[in-house]
Amino acid sequence: MAMIGGLAVVLAACGGTTPQAITVNNAEASRMGISVTGMGEVTGAPDTVQVDLGVSILGATVDEATTGAAQRADALIAALTSNGVASEDITTTEYSIYPEYDYSGNEHRLLGYRVNNTVRAKIRDVQTTGAVLDSATSAGGDETRISGLRFSIEDNAELVTAARQAAWDDAFAKATELADLSGQTLGPATSISETVSNPPVPIPYATDDAAGAERALTPIEPGSSAVTITLEVEFSFES
């Protein structure tokens, strides 16, 4: 909404988009100026992928289940490290033990004890993702579970700089146009507030067994990730 000569004006693009608020203070205001929002978005290829994977073992006893889970999890982790995943990039995110029952009859029957052991691995060579997961699921066997992949850009300094420039250009163009429309001369920026958004790209990768994981491996495409910067800028008017 623009305040020009004491009148409120709402500017909205076609297509039913949400109106963008742009405020111009008239000469009677205590501080003459204009507030605008500029946005810039730049995309790039992800350089990192995080994956949650582990094993889920059912055993007749707690000892049997924990022993089996430990063996499978050790093999899975060894497969990750042998394929270039650094030990410091592997973190345990879940370890649980609980009884599992069959409720299909009139009385529930104890089936055994379920042990889940899940780690989060960061793969820094994105092109090897398929091979890394193939090796890990092979090592974990039918008890392997994979919950998802999340691609992201970890080294995004250049993208942030480019998005910031685009956001500034957007804000400055809007402020200049509104100043011209109101018969004012745009002065320097007096306040700048920045918001950076770099959300990871989720890639569904759920499976109940190792065979399902193998089918999902071809292909695994990282696509692109976006860095978005929003600038809230206040400009003064030249007197």
State residue 236's pLDDT score. Answer: 95
Question: CA 12: distance to chain centroid?
Answer: 29
State residue 1's pLDDT score. Answer: 40
Is 17 found in the same domain as 63? Answer: no
Is 66 found in the same domain as 25? Answer: no
Domain membership of residue 219 (yes or no) is: no
State residue 166's pLDDT score. Answer: 97
State residue 106's pLDDT score. Answer: 80
Domain membership of residue 222 (yes or no) is: no
State residue 108's pLDDT score. Answer: 85
Is 140 found in the same domain as 70? Answer: yes
Dump the DSSP string for the chain.
Answer: -EEETTEEE-B--TTTPPPBP-EE--TTSSS-EEEEEEEEEEEE---EEEEEEEEEEEESSHHHHHHHHHHHHHHHHHHHHHTT--GGGEEEEEEEEEEEEE-SSSS-EEEEEEEEEEEEEEES-GGGHHHHHHHHHHHHGGGEEEEEEEEE-S--HHHHHHHHHHHHHHHHHHHHHHHHHTT--EEEEEEEEEEEE---EEEEEEESSHHHHHHHTS------EEEEEEEEEEEEE--
Please tell me the distance from the alpha carbon of residue 74 to that of residue 54, in angstroms, as a whole number: 10
Q: Identify whether 219 is preceded by a cis peptide bond (ω within 30 of 0).
A: yes
Q: Which domain holds residue 116?
A: 48-152
Number of Cβ within a 10 Å radius of residue 49:
24
Which among 146, 143, 118 has a CA at the least distance from the CA of 59? 143
Is 101 found in the same domain as 162? Answer: no
Is 103 found in the same domain as 161? Answer: no
Question: pLDDT truncated to tens, each residue of the chain (239 aa)?
Answer: 434 443 333 333 334 444 444 444 444 443 579 999 999 999 998 899 999 999 999 999 999 999 999 999 999 999 999 999 999 999 999 999 999 999 887 888 899 999 999 999 999 999 899 899 999 999 999 999 998 888 888 888 999 999 999 999 999 999 999 999 999 999 999 999 999 987 655 544 434 444 444 444 435 677 788 899 999 999 999 87
Name the domain boundary from 93, 117, 152. 152
Say which residue the tokens 């430990």 belong to.
70
State residue 93's pLDDT score. Answer: 95
Domain membership of residue 217 (yes or no) is: no
Is 75 found in the same domain as 130? Answer: yes
Is 95 found in the same domain as 67? Answer: yes
Is 129 found in the same domain as 63? Answer: yes
Q: For residue 49, which phi and psi values (nearest 5 degrees)?
A: -135, 135
Is 145 found in the same domain as 71? Answer: yes
Q: Where residue 72 sits, what CATH number does that domain have? A: 3.30.70.2970
Degrees to nearest 5, angle at CA 169 with 235 and 188: 25
C-alpha pair distances (Å), 163 with each of 90, 191, 229, 231: 32, 19, 6, 10
Sheet with 186-197, strands from edge to edge, namely: 23-24, 33-44, 225-237, 186-197
Q: Which two tokens stand for residue 80?
A: 């990750």
Q: Work out the burial of residue 31: count CB atoms within 10 Å of its CB; fewer than 13 is exposed, 13-18 middle, 19 or more buried.
A: exposed
* All residues at 6 or more sequence positions from 174 whose CB lies less than 8 Å from its CB, including other chains: 22, 36, 37, 38
Name the domain boundary from 121, 137, 152. 152
Domain count, the chain: 2
